[in-house]
Structure formats: C-alpha cells, structure tokens
C-alpha cells in the first residue's frame, strides 16, 4: 500500500544506477514490483537486490551503498538500519508494507534482517524527509523491503521459477534459494525457500568468534488482478538457528516467526481507489549467554512478539492534485522472561508490555505550476502503552542484589504504567524544476516518536536496549516524553548527457531526544529526554563515460550532537565514500569498488564510546551471462585483506573470542574487526 503511494520510480532510477547492464534481467524484475500510479519522483533512492550486491547475505548491508544510510551490525544476521545518524526504532522499516516488529529485547532479529538478501526484489529508501504517508513514526526516515513477489502478464497460465546457489570463502558460507510460480494476468501463485549457513568469519590473522549463522526462510503468496480490484496474500517465515551476536551480551539460540499480509484494492471510480491491508506477525526467540561463551551465571532469555496491523487508504484526484487519506494502526505485545539452566527457581519477568498505535493522515500531491510540485501531509497518532506487573524470584534473596530486585519490582508495580501520547507529524516536500537538467528540492518536516517499550518499561538495570551494544546496563523511565524533530532539507539534482549529480544537505533539531544519561551506578545509564541535533550532507554522483563504462559515487556525512551538553551522539557513521567503476561488454560485466571511511573521533562521552581509525578497502566483482536463463556472479571483497574496524560494528563481548581480544573488566576494550579477504560466487538460473 505505502509502496504504491511511494511511487516506485524504479525505471528512472535504473537508468541512473544500472548504467551498465550485463543482461536485461534487472529490467525484467520490474514486472515483479508494483508500479502503481507512478509519479515522477527524483527523491527516491532505489537499490535492487541481489543484482547490485551479489556478495550480500544480510539485506541491511545494501544500505551502505545508499546516500546517508548505513547499518549498525551486531551479528551476521543482525543489522539495524541507520539513516543520517538515527537508527533502530527511529527508522521506519516496512516489509510488504507493514512494520516488522522485533521479538528480541535487543533486536537480534532486526526488522531489516528478516528477509534474506536472495529473497528480496528491492530495498527502497525515501531520501530526505519521509512523507507522512510512508509510516506512522518516521523520525529517522522510511525504508521499504520488497520481498520477491510474482505477478503474471499472460492470458494463459505459465510456470516460472528461479534458483540460486552461492558460496562465500571468508566464513565458508553457503546459500541456496528457489522460487517457483504459476501465473497468469489474473491469478498468480508463488512459493520460495531459502537456506543459508556459515562459520565464523576470518580477518587478517584471525577469526571473529562467534559469527556463525544458520537460517531457513520461506515465502508464499497469491495475487489476483481483476477489472476493478486486486487482492494479494503474502506470508513469510524466518527460522533462524544458532547465530552469533558478539557485540551483545547473549547469542541467538533461535528466532522463529513471520508475517502474513492481505491487501485489497478497489477502484470504485476512475479517480477513487480504496486500499485495505491487514497483517499479523508472531515471532518467538530464545537467546543465551552460554551458547557460544563461557558464562558464569548461565542465563536464558525467552521473548515473544505478537502484532496485528490494519490500514485503509483512500486515494482520489481533485483539481489540486492527488489527495490521500489513511486510517491505520497496529497493536503489539512483547514478553521477555529470564531463566537459568542451573537454577529452576530463577525467573525474572523482564517485559510484559503492549503498544497500540492508531493514526490518521491526509496528504496532497499538487502541481503548483509546470515547474513546482508540492507534497504536503499531516498525521495524527495516538500511542497507548502499558506494562503488566513484574516479578522476580531474586527478590527472595537476603542480599543487596535481592533487596535491589525487591525495591525495583515494588516501585514499578506501584506506578502508573498506562501512558498515552498524542503525536502530530507534518511533511512538506517541494520540487522546483529550473530547466530540463536541473531541479531543486526543499523539505520541511516535523516528526515525532514515542518511546519504545524498552525505554519506558525496563524496570531492572539490564542490557536489554534494542541493540544499543554500548556495554551499559540501562534503566527505563516512565516519565519519558516523545521525541520531536524539526527537519530541514535542501537538495539538487543535475542530470545531463550521462552525468547525474545529486547532493543534499540537512539539519534536524531533535527535542526530547531519548538518550541514556548517567546514574549513581557507573555501569548503569537511564533513558532520559535530552536535546540533540543532526546535520550533514550526502550525495549521489554517476557518469556514463562511454556506452560500456560508467562511474558512480555515494558519499555520506553526518554529525550528531547534544544541544544540552557538549557531547556527540552515540554510534554515528563516520564520513564515508564509495567509488564504483563498471565496465560491460556482451556477456560480461565487471566492477571495481573503492570504499573509504574516515576515522570516527566524534564519539559519545556519555556512552564511553571508543574512537575508530579510518580505513579503505577495495572490492572487485563480475558477472557472466551464459544465456538469458543463467548467469554467474563472482568477486572478491577486501582484496588486500586489510584489517579494519567498522565503527558501527560494536565491541567484542564474547569471552571466547581470543583473536579479537576480551577484557572482563571493560566491555569496550576491543572493537570487532571487519571481514578479511572474501571470494564469492553465486549461480543464478531462471526459467
């Protein structure tokens, strides 16, 4: 639904990004993506998978190729989207048009990691200020993951399919996927399955223990296209087995769950369309601190999420332009319980919470003149949250620890935990076309975000912080107010004779930014409202040098600062740039890529964040098409086996990770290294 509204201008983006095509497979792919009521949209950044990212296993890694975006990585299958310095719950990540909820209280089952890269058709990021129609809480932008989806075009039923088989050397990783379909212009059925596993990855002179992973993934769908209406059913299921998250205090024993969506559109007049959508998600997850580690005081944490969502969107054309109204919402409950295999008596109810969001928006796309296009939207959201009484068997102990548990429990259970926020969002995006090759974009937004259940209801000091991975225990805060951001954007696009240059600058002032602040216990931070700002610039550049050769560049810079004290914000991507030279001829396509990250010295003193040195790595990739039904993608990443530290990958918390280093007295002593030299190959077949 939202992806329709977002108007996937994939064709225009393709002409920009896919300067050199080894075959026309990328173009065929477009049939699978719904391009509905497409408006000309230069502001959209599009990446298609896996064609542009053959070596990617975990979908959020594609963000590194998108201007302003990056990924906070806590494990091989745990990547939290970051956009312009905001990450986690601040970024609206949608899969099949619905918010994916994380079951793990530390986001090990990160929303954007839910669908494996080989099962994704496209990842779409709205560059700049996300229109309010793109989601309920979009303070950090909107990212859309579009899983594979088949829609036929022929009168007769046809059978189709695709399969892939891949290998990566750095971790002996293997993956296999298959997608089978039967489709006509009216009815389409499809089924896909994917399986992947790998060992801990190597870096120069060492192994990053324990970054092994093991996952199976399934999807299933049906599309109906009638004269006036369409119907779609989509289901996906992720079965993640034992998988490491070395920057967190525990690892994944399993995470099993998925989402079912149904979507119906009805066009009851030429210019009136109603889209209705419902989704249900359920994910169970177990993590432990002894699966891959040597733990004193073994602990398990069992978590569960249940979420239901609905959306009704009415689109109509009026004289001023296209008007959309939406009524949408979701109801999500989270449970997390801590137990020990050594003590059957131990039981701590960590979370038992619910968060209900109900929201209404109106958005107008209007052509003010031939050269001016304005998108303006307003959204009202009511967020209602609550938490059940908590319990802890530790409270029975006659020790300082027991007393702390007793007091925290009693005070939490005696407090009022039913909290309602009333949030208003605004977005204005104005595009001004100066001439055939130059246009300006102006954006103004006011965006809100209610606190997460962890930020409000973490009643015991624990590292259950949605993947913060800063080594601190945190305390929740029932007095938190929603975050409010005022956002400014200015961008330009210059496009002429094979050259495209699109820089953007932005400034976000965030009031009541939620940040951990010091407590009397030096190991514990408490979530609090502070004031912050984020500003920076990002650019996309591409140039078609000859018919066969193109160069493109993406550069991103963001700075995050507190406004109430002199400090930087935590875990922000340093200045980084990526040059790619692509050369194509007949059945071959080659590319060379230079990636450079500056040192990150602007670190959060509050989070005791450690600085990271800069680095550069070189990647080579190629594709060979045997015919129009088979091709092989291959390459080598980090060709010089450079040892480097990605600032967003966190610190080693695994005490058996000897090659990286571990200090039991300091959780921030050793940063996790990036992957060493990696040879990979993936074979694709389609029929």
Sheet holding 78-83, edge to edge: 69-75, 78-83, 86-87
Subset of 293-322 contacting Cu ion (CB under 5 A)? none
C-beta of 50 vs 650, nearer to Cu ion: 650
Asked if 261 contacts 233 with a C-beta cutoff of 8 angstroms, the reply is: yes
Asked if 508 contacts 535 with a C-beta cutoff of 8 angstroms, the reply is: yes
C-beta of 76 vs 329, nearer to Cu ion: 76
C-beta of 105 vs 188, nearer to Cu ion: 105
In the three-class reduction of DSSP (H, G, I as helix; E, B as strand; rest coil), residue 406 is classed as helix
How many residues make up the chain in this entry? Answer: 687
Q: Which of 223, 307, 226 is closest to 260 using CA atoms?
A: 307
State the nearest-atom distance from the C-beta of 232 to Cu ion, in Å: 31
Estimate to the nearest angstrom the gap between the alpha carbon of 604 and the chain centroid: 23
State the nearest-atom distance from the C-beta of 298 to Cu ion, in Å: 15
C-beta of 250 vs 672, nearer to Cu ion: 250
State the nearest-atom distance from the C-beta of 332 to Cu ion, in Å: 17
State the nearest-atom distance from the C-beta of 421 to Cu ion, in Å: 27
Q: Does 108 bind Cu ion (CB under 5 A)?
A: yes
Q: How far apart are CA 514 and CA 529, in angstroms?
A: 5
State the nearest-atom distance from the C-beta of 162 to Cu ion, in Å: 33
Q: Which of 5, 116, 121, 123 is closest to 66 using CA atoms?
A: 123
State the nearest-atom distance from the C-beta of 287 to Cu ion, in Å: 3
Q: How far apart are CA 260 and CA 272, in angstroms?
A: 27
Residue in the shown chain whose Cβ atom is closest to Cu ion: 104
C-beta of 108 vs 120, nearer to Cu ion: 108
Q: How far apart are CA 55 and CA 474, in angstroms?
A: 36
Subset of 393-412 contacting Cu ion (CB under 5 A)? none
CB atoms within 10 A of CB 205: 10
C-beta of 108 vs 112, nearer to Cu ion: 108
C-beta of 108 vs 469, nearer to Cu ion: 108
Q: How far apart are CA 60 and CA 78, in angstroms?
A: 9
Q: How far apart are CA 477 and CA 467, in angstroms?
A: 18
C-beta of 108 vs 554, nearer to Cu ion: 108
Q: How far apart are CA 52 and CA 68, in angstroms?
A: 18
C-beta of 273 vs 334, nearer to Cu ion: 334
CB atoms within 10 A of CB 297: 10
Stretch that binds Cu ion, among 9-17, 58-66, 107-115, 271-279 (CB under 5 A): 107-115
Torsion of CA 591, 84, 646, 60, to 10 degrees: -60
Largest CA distance in the chain: 77
Cis peptide leading into residue 210 (ω within 30°): yes
State the nearest-atom distance from the C-beta of 634 to Cu ion, in Å: 34
State the nearest-atom distance from the C-beta of 101 to Cu ion, in Å: 13
Binding track, positions 277-296, relative to Cu ion; x by CB under 5 A: ----------x---------
H/E stretch holding 356: strand 343-367
DSSP state, residue 320: T
Dihedral sign, CA of 586, 588, 594, 595?
positive
C-beta of 111 vs 532, nearer to Cu ion: 111
Subset of 579-638 contacting Cu ion (CB under 5 A)? none
State the nearest-atom distance from the C-beta of 303 to Cu ion, in Å: 6
Q: Does 390 bind Cu ion (CB under 5 A)?
A: no
Subset of 87-106 contacting Cu ion (CB under 5 A)? 104, 106
State the nearest-atom distance from the C-beta of 113 to Cu ion, in Å: 12
C-beta of 54 vs 243, nearer to Cu ion: 243
With b for 16 or more beta-carbon neighbours within 10 A and e for fewer, the 496-529 pattern comes to: eeeebbbbbebebbbbbbbbbeebeeeeebbbbb
* ∠ Cα 528 532 536 (to 5°): 145
Asked if 184 contacts 172 with a C-beta cutoff of 8 angstroms, the reply is: no
State the nearest-atom distance from the C-beta of 106 to Cu ion, in Å: 5
Q: Does 253 bind Cu ion (CB under 5 A)?
A: no
Q: How far apart are CA 556 and CA 504, in angstroms?
A: 10
Subset of 662-681 contacting Cu ion (CB under 5 A)? none
C-beta of 13 vs 104, nearer to Cu ion: 104
State the nearest-atom distance from the C-beta of 304 to Cu ion, in Å: 11
State the nearest-atom distance from the C-beta of 224 to Cu ion, in Å: 38
Asked if 35 contacts 124 with a C-beta cutoff of 8 angstroms, the reply is: no
DSSP state, residue 111: G
C-beta of 463 vs 561, nearer to Cu ion: 463
Q: Give the total of residues touching Cu ion (CB under 5 A).
A: 4
C-beta of 60 vs 377, nearer to Cu ion: 60
Q: How far is CA 114 from CA 58, 101, 282, 419, in A?
A: 9, 10, 13, 30
State the nearest-atom distance from the C-beta of 383 to Cu ion, in Å: 24
Q: Which residues bind Cu ion (CB under 5 A)?
A: 104, 106, 108, 287
């Amino acid at each position: 639904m939202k992806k329709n509204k977002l108007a996937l201008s994939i064709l225009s983006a393709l002409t920009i990004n896919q300067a050199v095509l080894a075959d026309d497979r990328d173009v065929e792919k477009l049939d699978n993506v719904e391009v509905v009521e497409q408006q000309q949209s230069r502001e959209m950044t599009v990446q298609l998978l896996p064609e542009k990212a053959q070596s990617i296993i975990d979908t959020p890694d594609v963000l590194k190729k998108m201007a302003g975006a990056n990924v906070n990585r806590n494990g091989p299958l745990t990547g939290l989207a970051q956009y312009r310095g905001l990450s986690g719950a601040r970024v609206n990540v949608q899969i099949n048009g619905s918010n994916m909820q994380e079951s793990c209280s530390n986001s090990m089952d990160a929303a954007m990691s839910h669908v494996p890269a080989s099962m994704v058709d496209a990842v779409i990021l709205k560059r700049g200020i996300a229109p309010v129609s793109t989601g309920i809480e979009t303070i950090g932008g909107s990212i859309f993951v579009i899983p594979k989806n088949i829609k036929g075009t022929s009168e007769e039923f046809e059978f189709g399919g695709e399969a892939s088989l891949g290998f990566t050397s750095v971790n002996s990783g293997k993956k296999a996927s298959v997608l089978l379909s039967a489709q006509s212009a009216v009815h389409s059925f499809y089924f896909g399955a994917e399986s992947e596993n790998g060992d801990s990855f190597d870096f120069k002179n060492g192994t990053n223990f324990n970054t092994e992973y093991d996952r199976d993934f399934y999807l299933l769908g049906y599309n109906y296209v009638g004269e006036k209406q369409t119907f779609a059913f989509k289901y996906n299921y992720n079965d993640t087995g034992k998988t490491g998250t070395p920057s967190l205090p525990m690892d994944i024993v399993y995470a099993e769950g998925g989402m079912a969506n149904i979507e119906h559109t009805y066009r009851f007049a030429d210019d009136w369309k109603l889209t209705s959508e419902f989704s249900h998600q359920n994910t169970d997850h177990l993590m432990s601190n002894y699966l891959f580690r040597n733990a004193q005081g073994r602990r398990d944490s069992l978590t569960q999420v249940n979420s239901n969502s609905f959306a009704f969107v009415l689109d109509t054309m009026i004289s001023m332009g296209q008007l959309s109204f939406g009524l949408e919402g979701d109801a999500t409950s989270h449970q997390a319980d801590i137990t020990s295999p050594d003590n059957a008596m131990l039981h701590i109810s960590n979370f038992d919470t619910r968060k209900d969001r109900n929201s209404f928006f109106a958005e107008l796309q209007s052509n003010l003149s031939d050269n001016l296009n304005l998108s303006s939207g307003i959204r009202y959201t009511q967020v209602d949250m609550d938490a059940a009484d908590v319990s802890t068997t530790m409270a029975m102990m006659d020790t300082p620890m027991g007393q702390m548990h007793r007091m925290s429990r009693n005070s939490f259970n005696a407090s009022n935990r039913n909290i309602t926020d009333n949030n208003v969002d605004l977005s204005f995006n104005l595009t001004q076309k100066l001439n055939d090759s130059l246009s300006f974009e102006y954006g103004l937004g006011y965006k809100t975000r209610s606190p997460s259940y962890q930020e409000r209801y973490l009643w015991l000091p624990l590292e259950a912080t949605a993947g913060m991975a800063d080594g601190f225990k945190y305390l929740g805060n029932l007095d938190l107010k929603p975050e409010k951001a005022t956002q400014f954007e200015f961008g330009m696009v210059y496009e002429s004779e094979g050259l495209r240059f699109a820089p953007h600058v932005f400034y976000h002032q965030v009031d009541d930014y939620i940040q951990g602040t010091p407590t009397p216990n030096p190991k514990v931070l408490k979530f609090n409202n502070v004031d912050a700002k984020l500003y920076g610039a990002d650019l996309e550049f591409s140039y078609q040098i000859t018919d066969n050769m193109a160069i493109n560049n993406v550069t991103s810079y963001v700075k995050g600062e507190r406004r109430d004290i002199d400090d930087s914000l935590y875990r922000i991507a340093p200045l980084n740039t990526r040059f790619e030279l692509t050369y194509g001829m007949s059945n071959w396509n080659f590319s060379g890529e230079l990636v450079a990250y500056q040192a990150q010295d602007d670190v959060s003193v509050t989070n005791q964040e450690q600085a990271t040195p800069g680095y550069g790595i070189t990647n080579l990739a190629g594709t060979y098409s045997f015919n129009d039904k088979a091709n092989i993608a291959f390459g080598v990443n980090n060709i010089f086996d450079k040892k480097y530290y990605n600032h967003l990958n966190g610190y080693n918390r695994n005490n058996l990770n000897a090659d990286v280093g571990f200090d039991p007295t300091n959780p921030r002593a050793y940063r996790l290294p990036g992957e060493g030299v990696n040879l990979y190959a993936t074979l694709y077949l389609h029929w």
